[in-house]
Each structure stands twice: as C-alpha cells, then as structure tokens.
C-alpha cells in the first residue's frame, strides 16, 4: 500500500508539532522520519496510526482518506520504543494476541505464528517469557507481533534506542531484511542519522515540525538543501565557515581569518554572485598537500585515530577545521597541516536564509 501525507498540520493547544507536512511514500519502501527531539517525527507516526487526529490536511492509504478511521481498522502493525510485550505471556501468546479476535482456526493461527517467528528468527523462543529474553530478542518478538496479522503498513517508533551499539547494527540489518522479504511499506522513526542512512530508501528530515528535505540518503548527505540538513548529517560534523565572494577578482575570503582563496580552483559555478555566504566542507573533502601547494595552513590541536583513518582538528586563524586523513599519510610529529579542498565539494549556503544556492533541494515528493 502506498501512503500519502498531504499538508498535514498537528497542534496541541498553542504548540504546532507538525506544520504543512507533505510526503508521498511508495508501496514497499522504507522511509525514515529523522530529526532532533521535538521535531514532530513521532507525532507524525502516531497520526498515521490514528492515535492523533490532524488539525489540517489529510492522510491517504492507497488514495483513501483515513483521517477518521479508527486505529484498529487501519490494518497497520506498530512497534513501540519499549516493545510493550505482555510480561505474563509466553512469546507464542504475545505473537498470537493480535489474531485472537479474528475467527480463524487454531491450525491457521499456529501456522501464522510459527511462520512469522521463523522469519524473525525466534522460532526456538516461543515458550519463553519476555523477562527471559535479551533486548534484541524482545524486539524481534515485538516485530513478529506487529507483522503476524499481515498489515499493509508497518510503523516503527525508535525500536533500536534501547539496544547496545553492536546489537543496533545487527537489528537494523534484520529489520531491512524482513522489510524487503515482505515488501511491506514501512515508516521508521529515529533521531540517529546512522540508522536512517543505512536503512532507508528515503529520509524525511524534520526540524521544528517542518520538512527540511525528503530524498534518498545519499542526496541528503551530498546535496543538502539547506544549512540545517548539512549540519545534522555527518560524523564528524561538516565544517562551516563564513566567507565573502568577490566575482570581480574571483576570490573567496574567509571572514574569521585572513585566508583568501581563488574561487575557480574550488567552485566551478558561474551563477554564483558576489556577497556573503556560509560554506560547508565535509571532513573527507580536504586533501593533504605539501606546504607550497596548499591553500590552507592549520595548526594541529587534536589527533584522533579511528580505525584506518585519523580525525585531525586544526586551528586556522579564528576558525577550526576537522578533516579525515588516512592514518599512514600523517606525520605524527608534525605540528602543522597543509590542505586543499576537492573541487566542487564546497556547499554554498545563503548567509541569511541558509538555503543551498547551488541546488534545488527536494521539499516534498
């Protein structure tokens, strides 16, 4: 089933939690609602589920408006952050619970429970109770319970937040495997950018109830529509500098230090006008250079080794730069670092509105 959210607004008294949100979610896709706490992502999910009512706008399930349809009639499966398992019931009883109200035979019921348990790899745990399970096993039970009634849409509200780092990686791979196997339309809520980037077909990034960008994960990272998107995605975070561009002599001057760079060496876009901007440079888009050929000289302050790469924090005038360098390329006794920026890897944002002036970021579909 495809899902459409059209100009959705949700208010709680004087607080607007979601404002004019429009999303088209294709059948069989996994879309993540991503953003900081309080951005409206869980509110949107609960409204899709029917737990909240929209103040304005419509929600469509396969071209049918469901605003007034009760949650139990929406044919959705939902997994909550705390899993909400019944502690006095076995795993088997927890999974079969959504089917108990349906008039199906015991043989069919048993087949459905055992089939979904096998899919989520808990077929050996059916006689245990929740307190006898690990966090990852409890999560699998919650997913099985949501899927056993064969819903047309699966809703997941931060289901990985209670797991340790290693288990989170394993479980996000499992969720993606199950979602692809069943080809079920899925909406996933998280504040964790790594989860969203690794799992999603598309990401809807929200801030203060407003959609910032809706696109494939790689486009949010490589073509952020505005300054907020660029800063929210990326670890280590993107480097942001204030600059002034002069088209007459084709230079870019950094406002917090005396650094002046030839514009055409780094940005190949004749439409950019003179004026003040904020620029963003990803940590991996710096190049280590020899002293005489470098545009940027920095004083090394912190060096962190992370696997095969090294994160270097360097001071350039009144700015700080973070860059990622291969471990073997860095002289450990060196106090200075010499850098260039890869051509056309600079993100240019309007100084006042923060919009990316080089691209047209997606705002809806």
Q: What pLDDT is stored for residue 361 in this prediction?
A: 40
Are residues 271 and 163 both part of a single domain?
Answer: no
> Which range among 125-129, 134-138, 256-260 shows the weakest confidence by mean pLDDT?
256-260
CA nearest to 130, candidates 172, 98, 157, 95: 95
- Calculate mean pLDDT across residues 112-133: 95
Boundary-marking domain end, from 199, 223, 247 = 223
Within a domain: residue 68?
A: yes
Strands 202-207 and 30-34: parallel
Is there a domain that residue 365 lies in?
no
For the entire predicted model, the pTM comes to: 0.92
Which residue, 157, 216, 208, 160, is CA-closest to 187? 157
Of the spans 30-34, 247-251, 307-311, which averages the highest pLDDT? 30-34
Mean pLDDT of 201-226: 97
**Beta carbons of 265 and 339 less than 8 angstroms apart:** no
* Mean pLDDT, the chain, integer: 92
Verify that 247 and 150 share a domain, yes or no: no
Last-in-domain residue among 223, 256, 271: 223
Alpha helices (H) along 148-245? 165-182, 193-199, 217-222, 227-232
Tens-place pLDDT, residues 332-351: 678 899 999 999 999 999 99
Query: Residues 250, 215: one domain?
Result: no
| Mean pLDDT of the region 271-291 | 93
Q: Examine the domain organization and report whether 159 and 11 are in the same domain.
A: yes
- Give me the domain span that covers residue 60: 3-223
183 falls within a domain:
yes
What confidence score (pLDDT) does residue 307 get? 80
Mean pLDDT of 119-129: 95
**312 and 254, same domain (yes or no):** yes
Residue 84 has a pLDDT of 87
End position of a domain, from candidates 195, 223, 251: 223
Residues 182, 257 within the same domain: no
Domain of residue 268, CATH code:
2.40.50.140
Structural domain contains residue 228: no
CATH number for position 155: 3.40.50.300
Residues 265 and 143 in one domain: no
* 62 lies in the same domain as 181: yes
Residues 17 and 105 in one domain: yes
- Please give the share of the chain, as a percent, with pLDDT higher than 90: 78
Q: In this structure, are 240 and 201 located in the same domain?
A: no
Q: Mark whether 154 and 265 lie in a shared domain.
A: no
My answer on whether 187 and 250 are in the same domain is: no
Judged against a pLDDT cut of 90, whether residue 83 lies above it is answered with no
Confidence category of residue 258, pLDDT binned at 50, 70, 90:
confident
CA distance readout (Å), 247 to 104, 264, 269: 74, 10, 11
Mean pLDDT, residues 128-141 taken together:
94
Q: Domain for residue 268, yes or no?
A: yes
Quote the pLDDT of residue 360: 54
The total of structural domains in the chain comes to 2
In-domain check, residue 355: no
- DSSP label of 301: E
Handedness of CA 164, 169, 170, 173 (dihedral sign): positive
Q: Which CA distances in Å does 164 have to 42, 137, 146?
A: 22, 13, 23
- pLDDT of amino acid 364: 39
- 10 is a domain residue: yes
User: Residue 278 forms beta bridges with which residues?
Assistant: 242, 349
| Confidence (pLDDT) at 328 | 73
How far apart CA 144 and CA 92 sit, in angstroms, is 10
pLDDT band for position 206 (50/70/90)? very high
Average of per-residue pLDDT across 267-272 = 83
Does residue 276 form part of some domain?
yes
């Amino acid at each position: 089933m495809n899902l459409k959210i059209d100009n959705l607004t949700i208010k709680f008294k004087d607080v607007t939690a979601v404002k004019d949100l429009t999303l088209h979610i294709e059948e069989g896709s996994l879309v993540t609602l991503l953003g900081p706490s309080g951005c409206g992502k869980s509110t949107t999910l609960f409204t899709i589920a029917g737990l909240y009512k929209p103040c304005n706008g419509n929600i469509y399930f396969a071209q049918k408006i469901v605003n007034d349809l009760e949650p139990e009639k929406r044919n959705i499966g939902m997994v909550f952050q705390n899993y909400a398992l019944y502690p006095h019931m076995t795993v088997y009883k927890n999974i079969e619970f959504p089917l108990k109200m349906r008039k199906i035979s015991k043989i069919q019921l048993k087949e459905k429970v055992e089939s979904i348990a096998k899919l989520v790899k808990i077929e050996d745990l059916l006689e245990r109770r929740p307190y006898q399970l690990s966090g990852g096993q409890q999560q699998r039970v919650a997913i099985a319970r949501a899927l056993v009634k064969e819903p047309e849409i699966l809703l997941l509200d931060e289901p990985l937040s209670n797991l340790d780092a290693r288990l989170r990686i394993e479980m996000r791979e499992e969720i993606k495997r199950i979602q692809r196997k069943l080809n079920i339309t899925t909406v996933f809520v998280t504040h964790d950018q790594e989860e969203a980037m690794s799992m999603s077909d598309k990401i809807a990034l929200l801030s203060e109830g407003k959609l910032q960008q809706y696109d494939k994960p790689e486009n949010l990272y490589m073509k952020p529509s505005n300054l907020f998107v660029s800063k929210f995605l990326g670890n280590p975070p993107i480097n942001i500098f204030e600059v002034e561009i002069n088209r007459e002599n084709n230079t870019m001057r950094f406002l917090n230090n005396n650094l002046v760079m030839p514009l055409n060496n780094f940005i190949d876009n004749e439409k950019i006008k003179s004026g003040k901007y904020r620029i963003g440079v990803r940590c991996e888009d710096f190049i280590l250079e020899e002293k005489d050929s470098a545009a940027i000289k920095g004083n090394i302050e912190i060096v962190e080794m992370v696997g095969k790469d090294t994160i270097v924090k360097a001071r350039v005038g009144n700015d700080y730069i973070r860059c990622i360098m291969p471990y073997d390329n860095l002289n450990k006794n060196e106090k200075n670092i010499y850098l260039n920026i890869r051509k056309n890897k600079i993100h240019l944002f309007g100084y006042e509105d923060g919009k990316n002036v080089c691209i047209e970021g997606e705002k809806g579909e």
